[in-house]
Amino acid sequence: MSETDVLVIGGGPAGTWAALKAAAAGATVTLADKGFCGSSGATAAAGTGIWYVEPEPELRERAMASREGLGGYLADRDWMARVLDETYELVNELAEQGRYPFPVTPEGKSLRTGVQGPEYMKRQRLRVRRAGVRILDHTPAVELLRTADGTVAGARLHRLSDGARVDVHARAVVLATGGCAFQSKTLGCDVNTGDGALMAVEAGAELSGMEFSNAYAIAPAFTSVTKTAYYSFATFYLGNGEPLEGASSKGGRSVIARTLLDEPVYCTLDLADEAQRRAMRRGQPNFFLTFDRLGIDPFTERFPITLLLEATVRGTGGVRVAGADCSTGVPGLFVAGDVATRELICGGFTGGGSHNAAWAMSSGSWAGAGAARFARRQSSASAERRRVGAGGVGLRPTGRPDAGLTHTEIVAAVQREVLPYEKNYLRHGDRLRPALAALDEIWRAARTGLDHTEADPSKVRSAAAMTAHARWMYNAALARTESRGMARREEYPDLDPAQHHRIITGGLDEVWTAPEPVFLAAGERVSA
C-alpha cells in the first residue's frame, strides 16, 4: 500500500496534463497506466490536430460556430471559450517548456495546430517525471476505493509484471482512462475498454451523451490505421470497378457501411494533388508504412477499405462533468479526456483529433488542479480512514462463481452486439432492442458468476466495462428518437426540436436515462 495526494489513472494526454498540473499545485502525485505512459493509447500512435486558435474574437467566433450545427446545438459556448483559452496556453507551454518541435514557416511562424503523437507523448512522460510524479507503468486500475461517506480515496491496482495487488490511498483521484473502442483493433485503442466509466458509475457518477457512440473510422482493410480526413481525397469503387455512388457525399460513410454488408469497397486517394500528397505523408507517416511495404501507391492504385468502431474514443459521450474543475459530483473523483463527456464543447459530433486533443489537454489541466485543491482540503486524519473497494462485476459475484464463464467469451459476446454496422452504425430500434436484450443477459451472467480468481483481474474488469458501456450506449440510443449529431436512427431520420436536450444515463443492474435541458451561458433555456 502507498499514499499520495492525487492519483491519476491513465497516462495519455489527459492523464499527463492532470499529473503536471496537480504537481504544479504542490500535490504529491502518482500516475498509474494500463500500458507504458508515453507510448500506449490512441494519441501516442498517430499524428493529431489540435483546436488551437489565436485569441482574436473573429477567429474564436468562427471556431465555435463551425461545429455547433454538426453537434446538434448541444455544446456550451462558455465551455468552448474556456477550452480555447486553456488549450492556447497549454500548447504554448508545450512549445516553450516542453520544447516540442513545432514546424516553422519560411516566415518564422510556429505552426501549433497539430502534433506527432509519439513525440508529444515522449515529451509529456519526460515532463511528468521531472515534475516528481511517481509513474506506475503496466499497472491497470481494477476498482476505486472509497470511504464510508462515499468519498473516493484511492484505487486498487493490478501490477502486470508479477500479478501483485497494489492499493494506492489518495486524497483525490483523476480518471483519465480514455473511452471505449471495444477492442475493435483501431490503432492504439485496444487499451481503451471503458474501465474508467465503469469505476465512476460504481462510485456514484452519471454519464452523458452515450448515444453519441457510433463512430466508425475508415481504414485500409489490411491495417488498423485510421485517418478518416485523408478519405476526403478519395474516389470509392465497387469490386467491379464502378464508382460507388454517394460514398463521397455527406452521409457517405453510411453508403460505405451498407455496401460492406454485401461486398468489398475499394478506394484510391486520387483527388489529392502533388502538394497535398507530400503534406499527407509528412503529417501522418505511419498511414503510408503498410502501403509502402506492400508496394501499393494509394494515390494511384485501388485498395480495399473497412470501417473500424471507435465508439466513445471518437464519440462524445462519457462521465458527466459536474463542475468547472471537471469534478463528477462524487467527492474526490475527477475526470479528464475521453472518459469525460465531450458534449460540452462538441455536442453530438466530433472528428479525430482537434477538439478531442484540446479537451484532453484542458480537462486534464482542470481536473489535476481541482484534485490538488480537493486534496489540500482533506485533514491529516483522512489518511487513517477505512477504505473499501467499490467494484462489483468480476470482483464480487452475487451468486456462485461460474468457472466456465471467461472474460474472453464475454468480450466476444459483446463485440457481436456492437461491432456490426447494421446494429451500431445503421441504428434502428428493431435491431437495437434485441442487441440490448442480449447485452442485458451477458451482464446478468457476469454479475452473478464472473470471477477473477483464476484470471488477470484487469482483463476480467475490462470485459465487465465493455458490457456496461454497450448497455449505456444502446439505452441512450433508444431514448433519443430522432437523428442528431452522430446519433442517427433509421426510423427517425430527422432532427426533432422537442428533443433539444442532453441524455443523462446511469445505473448498473438497472440502467436508466433522463433528459437534461440545454441552457445558454446566462442560464436561459435554449428554444429549439
Give counts: helices (H), strands (E), the chain: 14, 18
- d(CA 249, CA 275) in angstroms, rounded, equals 24
Whether the predicted pLDDT of 434 surpasses 90: yes
- Element (DSSP H or E) covering residue 145: strand 141-146
**Which pLDDT score is estimated for 525?**
43
Give the strand pairing for 207-208 and 318-319. antiparallel
Query: Is-contact 189 34, C-beta < 8 A?
Result: no
Rg (CA), the chain: 22
Whether the predicted pLDDT of 320 surpasses 60: yes
- d(CA 375, CA 144) in angstroms, rounded, equals 16
Nearest to 451 by CA among 492, 502, 392: 392
Residue 187 identity: L
Whether the predicted pLDDT of 522 surpasses 90: no
- Element (DSSP H or E) covering residue 216: strand 216-220
Grid cell digits, residue 334: 475527477
Phi, psi torsion values for 47, nearest 5 degrees? -80, 155
**Which pLDDT score is estimated for 195?**
98
**Which pLDDT score is estimated for 523?**
42
Grid cell digits, residue 101: 518541435
Arithmetic mean of pLDDT, 46-61: 94
Arithmetic mean of pLDDT, 114-140: 97
- d(CA 201, CA 475) in angstroms, rounded, equals 15
Cβ atoms within 10 Å, residue 230: 20
**Which pLDDT score is estimated for 519?**
67
Helix, strand and coil content of the chain, in percent to the nearest 5, comes to 40, 20, 40
Nearest to 450 by CA among 460, 439, 436, 435: 460
pLDDT digits (tens, 9 = 90+) for 175-208: 999 999 999 999 899 999 999 999 999 999 999 9
Query: Is-contact 204 150, C-beta < 8 A?
Result: yes
Whether the predicted pLDDT of 12 surpasses 60: yes
Phi, psi torsion values for 118, nearest 5 degrees? -60, -45
**Which pLDDT score is estimated for 452?**
82
pLDDT digits (tens, 9 = 90+) for 392-411: 999 999 999 898 899 999 99
- d(CA 45, CA 219) in angstroms, rounded, equals 15
**Which pLDDT score is estimated for 341?**
98
Arithmetic mean of pLDDT, 469-495: 97
- d(CA 8, CA 172) in angstroms, rounded, equals 9
For residues 197-226, b (16+ Cβ closer than 10 Å) or e, as one string?
bbbbbbbbbbbbbbbbbbbbbbbbeebbbb
Whether the predicted pLDDT of 129 surpasses 60: yes
In the block, cell 464543447 appears at 345
- d(CA 204, CA 319) in angstroms, rounded, equals 11
**Which pLDDT score is estimated for 115?**
94
Phi, psi torsion values for 63, nearest 5 degrees? -65, -40
Query: Is-contact 352 346, C-beta < 8 A?
Result: no
For residues 34-50, b (16+ Cβ closer than 10 Å) or e, as one string?
bbebbbbbbbbbbbbbb
Q: In this structure, what DSSP letter does residue 492 have? A: B
Whether the predicted pLDDT of 228 surpasses 90: no
pLDDT digits (tens, 9 = 90+) for 499-521: 999 999 999 999 999 999 986 44
pLDDT digits (tens, 9 = 90+) for 348-388: 998 777 999 999 999 999 999 999 999 999 977 666 789 99
**Which pLDDT score is estimated for 50?**
96
Of the chain, the percentage scoring pLDDT greater than 90 comes to: 88
pLDDT digits (tens, 9 = 90+) for 263-310: 999 999 999 999 999 999 988 888 999 999 999 999 999 999 999 999
Query: Is-contact 236 256, C-beta < 8 A?
Result: yes
In the block, cell 462463481 appears at 401
Q: In this structure, what DSSP letter does residue 425 have? A: I
